[in-house]
Structure 1
Amino acid sequence: MMGLSPFGWCVIVLVALAAMGLPIGLSMVGASIFYLLAAGLDPGTAAEQILNGLYNSYVLLAVPLFILAADLMNTGSLTDRLLKFCLVLVGRFRGGLGHVNVVSNVIFAGMSGSAIADAVGIGRIIIGMMTRGGKYPVAYAAAITASAAIIGPIIPPSIPMVIYALVSDASIGYLFLGGVVPGLILGVAFMVMNAVISRRRNYPVEPPVRLREVPRVTVEAFPALLLPIILLVGIYGGVMTPTEGAAAAAAYALLAAALIYRALSGRQVYGVLLSSAKATTSVGMLIAGALAFNYVVTVENIPVSVQHFVGGFHLSKVGFLLLVNLILLVLGCLLEGTTILLIIVPIFIPAVKALGIDTVHFGVVVVVNIMIGLLTPPFGLLLFVVANMTKQPLLAIVRECVPFIAAAIAVLALITFVPETVLWLPRVMGYKG
């Protein structure tokens, strides 16, 4: 066929289908079937790979459950209570509402696992608080909201880490632990950046919450604050697997919203289930397409070819990680994060193992890269989410995001050059990698 191999035509078909507007998951399925036909293989293999991958992977059950937990928390007023609690903690400093934005995302990260869910759930409330009375420019409020939301999938639980574990065979539990310190460092970096900008622009100081109000606000927030504790103790205490932890998180969020806060009606529960099912279907279609396409990549021996190609440059561990960082940061501007995890990252895994790079360390580096991609144009998904919420020009939000993107890249460099920032906590908890 015009001198191109079946795989070459497969890539052309994939790009063409995606360019015509077909969802990327379906594009991958279509391109994979085209490859199987062109290579003289059974096209039914695509369906076999999809079914085996989806139904034999217990870990994938965590994805819809974490999505459901996040939707329940956003709908059931848990987010409101957390924001009030964070206002007590850090609201009294200059740029206090910016600090509240970051700290609430750090806390919410221990429950959700999704950057989009964090941005939508916290964003609608905190952006209104920041812009009321002209305290902060709308574009800045949107930018810090989008930036803080990337902390969510780095601190456990994390949907991207679940997907990475699927393609790399790394331990989900230790991946979750590996994300804790980098996520906290990222939160501190964003707060420092917010403090510098707030002082330079003279953003307001919020009136301190009266001391007698603190116990009431803390008690009201306590059921919501208990959720990440239950998750972490349950998973790392050996009581439940990460998938069971996701189910426990969803069940607890439902009980807390419906029974403790009495903020969830039957109609709202139906709406939450519907929106969670739609989000799960979208992710599931991507995973299904990737399972079929990864079979094609395996048949073509692409990972081994990449390993030999990288080996030809005689790169050190750090050199390889820097190359991967550069590739992923560029791809993050163009592709959706789940697509990168499912198609691009598996190609690197053999080279990672051959170089002796720890797969948990590599996984956290990959996830931080992908989260930065959510902030970088032209594809940065979080930019579109907050632009839609605030009706602000995308360019104005991008300009305000630049300092936070720079801070995130600095943290990425730190965890790349100092693996112990990722591996210290897993090793404390018994990791031998």
Structure 2
Amino acid sequence: MSFAFLLCLATILVIAAIGAPIAYAIIIGAFAYLWAAGSSIGIAGKVLMDGLYQSYILLAVPLFIVAANIMNAGSISDRLLNFCVAIVGRFRGGLGHVNVVTSLVFSGMSGSAVADAAGIGRIIIEMMTKSGHYTRGYAAAITAASATIGPIIPPSIPMVLYALVSGSSIGYLFVAGILPGLLMGAVLMAINAWIAHRRGFALEAAVPMSDLPRITARAFPALMMPVILLYGIYGGVTTPTEAAAVAAFYALILAAGFYRAMSIRSFYEILVESARSSAAIGLVIGGALILNYIVASENIPSLVADALVGLDIPPILFLLSVNLLILLLGCILDASTIILVIIPLFIPTCRELGIDLVHFGVVAIVNCMIGLITPPYGILLFVINAVTRIPLGEIIREIWLFLAVLVAALLLMIFFPSITLWLPRLLGYEG
């Protein structure tokens, strides 16, 4: 590695360490590299514009953000929540099950863990604490854990970013996330049931079965969104980016037209908030595009691949090692940074070792989501702390069992690739 590259890394680490946003750290580090290497600063602008111009897929990111914000602002989230309460709220630990099932359902609309936790997650926490059966820390912890499912079941903003850096099919990545997402939901519900029996959580009042058809009918239009998205992509009707536009438009029609739960003013506020969120992600993407150019210029991916292949590392050991690294990095970095900056370093090695890139991508993204709830710097822990004012210490004390079962689910995905690849292969994937 050259002096310029070492200076780039040092600059990024120092700026990030003083608390500056990681996007600024990456961009300033990239400028430091170009200055030390004697290159024109204009290269950064060219790389950035070329990367954005050639990545039509990135339009899906702001569109999915708009769809998620409309879901949270309208009455759609409330209808989905009532549906989940009617289905699983009658069991011991019922509101905990509702929490997980709601995340499974809502993940088919938002594609964002933060949107899930800050939106509908906040509502469920209030329900759980008001019932008197759950501590604040437990309600917040299971909400944070279940929110990690959001970006696994399609649609998924992190999968869009991974497709950008790996060249993998978004469609197959989306389908590959369905079974892993359901597995994550299953293990979370299992540990919730175990804790509920161990702590003697009281039963909630059951919704009468006679009310179930009415509640289902109220939620049915919202439940159709993931069906419409997947049919659009796999039926050849839309591209993934067009499907994101359909998702945003469908959410708007439901909230404003069908449910009549949105005003022009609230829609304006949604667009402003979505623009801010998209801009924040865009800064990270822009910095990552420049940094990836620098990494390629230094031939780092080939050096890493040659070193690992030369050591004759078995593919499963490589996967375990990379996932351990991602899990550790997830404690201090956000998922977008890991996907755009760290993961591309290992993609050439995956190709050399014969590791399927769709399988690798889903496993890596699940790992990044687990990092969102890993103390001390799990972003979802801070998001829930910010929107509910529940002390961080109470959340962290309750998060460990949920974290353990999610790691167990991750290991199952690593050792049994068919969990991620079975559905894509049914649809013709040949990887």
TM-score under structure 1 length normalisation: 0.98
User: Residue 49 of structure 1 corresponds to which residue in structure 2?
Assistant: 47
Among residues 202, 218, 242, which one is paired with 1:204 in the alignment?
202
Among residues 268, 274, 277, which one is paired with 1:276 in the alignment?
274
User: Residue 16 of structure 2 corresponds to which residue in structure 1?
Assistant: 18
User: Residue 183 of structure 1 corresponds to which residue in structure 2?
Assistant: 181
User: Residue 291 of structure 1 corresponds to which residue in structure 2?
Assistant: 289
Contact 2:8–2:29 at 8 Å: present in 1 too? yes
Cα shift readout 1:218-247 (whole Å, capped 9, x = no counterpart): 111111111111111111111111111110
- Tell me how far apart the structure 1 counterparts of residues 414 and 2 of structure 2 sit (CA, whole Å): 38
- Tell me how far apart the structure 2 counterparts of residues 350 and 301 of structure 1 sit (CA, whole Å): 11
- Tell me how far apart the structure 1 counterparts of residues 209 and 358 of structure 2 sit (CA, whole Å): 43
Among residues 107, 113, 129, which one is paired with 1:115 in the alignment?
113
**Which stretch has the larger CA shift, 312-321 or 174-183?**
312-321
- Tell me how far apart the structure 2 counterparts of residues 58 and 346 of structure 1 sit (CA, whole Å): 19
User: Residue 418 of structure 1 corresponds to which residue in structure 2?
Assistant: 416
Contact 2:92–2:201 at 8 Å: present in 1 too? yes
Describe how 1:252-263 pairs up with structure 2 within 5 A.
Answer: 252-263=250-261
Contact 2:113–2:150 at 8 Å: present in 1 too? yes
Contact 1:138–1:390 at 8 Å: present in 2 too? no
**Which stretch has the larger CA shift, 302-311 or 275-284?**
302-311
SS state at 1:42 partner? coil
Once superposed, what is the RMSD of the aligned Cα atoms? Answer: 1.2
Deviation at 1:52? 0.8
Deviation at 1:312? 3.1
Among residues 192, 216, 219, which one is paired with 2:217 in the alignment?
219
Deviation at 1:43? 1.7
Contact 2:91–2:203 at 8 Å: present in 1 too? yes
User: Residue 331 of structure 1 corresponds to which residue in structure 2?
Assistant: 329
User: Residue 60 of structure 2 corresponds to which residue in structure 1?
Assistant: 62
Deviation at 1:4? 6.9
- Tell me how far apart the structure 2 counterparts of residues 261 and 211 of structure 1 sit (CA, whole Å): 24
Among residues 229, 232, 246, which one is paired with 1:231 in the alignment?
229
- Tell me how far apart the structure 1 counterparts of residues 250 and 91 of structure 2 sit (CA, whole Å): 33
Contact 1:336–1:379 at 8 Å: present in 2 too? no
SS state at 1:295 partner? helix
User: Residue 165 of structure 2 corresponds to which residue in structure 1?
Assistant: 167
- Tell me how far apart the structure 1 counterparts of residues 392 and 310 of structure 2 sit (CA, whole Å): 42
1:322 aligns with 2:320: yes
Contact 1:106–1:152 at 8 Å: present in 2 too? yes
Counterpart code for 2:176: G
User: Residue 79 of structure 1 corresponds to which residue in structure 2?
Assistant: 77
User: Residue 128 of structure 1 corresponds to which residue in structure 2?
Assistant: 126
User: Residue 103 of structure 2 corresponds to which residue in structure 1?
Assistant: 105
- Tell me how far apart the structure 2 counterparts of residues 13 and 174 of structure 1 sit (CA, whole Å): 37
User: Residue 358 of structure 2 corresponds to which residue in structure 1?
Assistant: 360
- Tell me how far apart the structure 2 counterparts of residues 43 and 330 of structure 1 sit (CA, whole Å): 33
User: Residue 91 of structure 1 corresponds to which residue in structure 2?
Assistant: 89
Contact 2:309–2:352 at 8 Å: present in 1 too? no
- Tell me how far apart the structure 2 counterparts of residues 4 and 289 of structure 1 sit (CA, whole Å): 20
SS state at 2:419 partner? helix
User: Residue 391 of structure 2 corresponds to which residue in structure 1?
Assistant: 393
- Tell me how far apart the structure 2 counterparts of residues 278 and 233 of structure 1 sit (CA, whole Å): 30
User: Residue 37 of structure 1 corresponds to which residue in structure 2?
Assistant: 35
Cα shift readout 1:92-117 (whole Å, capped 9, x = no counterpart): 10000100110011011111100000
Deviation at 1:21? 3.5
User: Residue 244 of structure 2 corresponds to which residue in structure 1?
Assistant: 246
- Tell me how far apart the structure 2 counterparts of residues 312 and 274 of structure 1 sit (CA, whole Å): 51
Deviation at 1:17? 2.3
Contact 1:29–1:46 at 8 Å: present in 2 too? no
Deviation at 1:174? 0.3
Deviation at 1:395? 2.0
Counterpart code for 2:271: L
- Tell me how far apart the structure 1 counterparts of residues 17 and 208 of structure 2 sit (CA, whole Å): 56
Deviation at 1:216? 1.4
- Tell me how far apart the structure 2 counterparts of residues 180 and 212 of structure 1 sit (CA, whole Å): 31
Gaps of 5+ in 1: none
Deviation at 1:278? 0.3
Among residues 309, 312, 320, which one is paired with 1:311 in the alignment?
309
Counterpart code for 1:98: G
- Tell me how far apart the structure 1 counterparts of residues 12 and 206 of structure 2 sit (CA, whole Å): 56
SS state at 1:110 partner? helix
Contact 1:24–1:286 at 8 Å: present in 2 too? yes
Gaps of 5+ in 2: none
TM-score under structure 2 length normalisation: 0.98
Counterpart code for 2:255: A
Runs of 4+ aligned residues of structure 1 deviating over 6 Å after TM superposition are none
Deviation at 1:12? 1.1
Cα shift readout 1:13-65 (whole Å, capped 9, x = no counterpart): 12222233432212212211221121122221111111111122110000000
SS state at 2:230 partner? helix
Counterpart code for 1:58: Y
SS state at 2:346 partner? helix
- Tell me how far apart the structure 2 counterparts of residues 205 and 430 of structure 1 sit (CA, whole Å): 45
Contact 2:146–2:185 at 8 Å: present in 1 too? yes
Q: How many residues align?
A: 431
Contact 2:104–2:149 at 8 Å: present in 1 too? yes
Q: Give the direction of change, closer, same or farther, for the CA distance of 1:430–1:420 in structure 2 (3 Å limit).
A: same
Deviation at 1:126? 0.6
- Tell me how far apart the structure 2 counterparts of residues 414 and 167 of structure 1 sit (CA, whole Å): 25
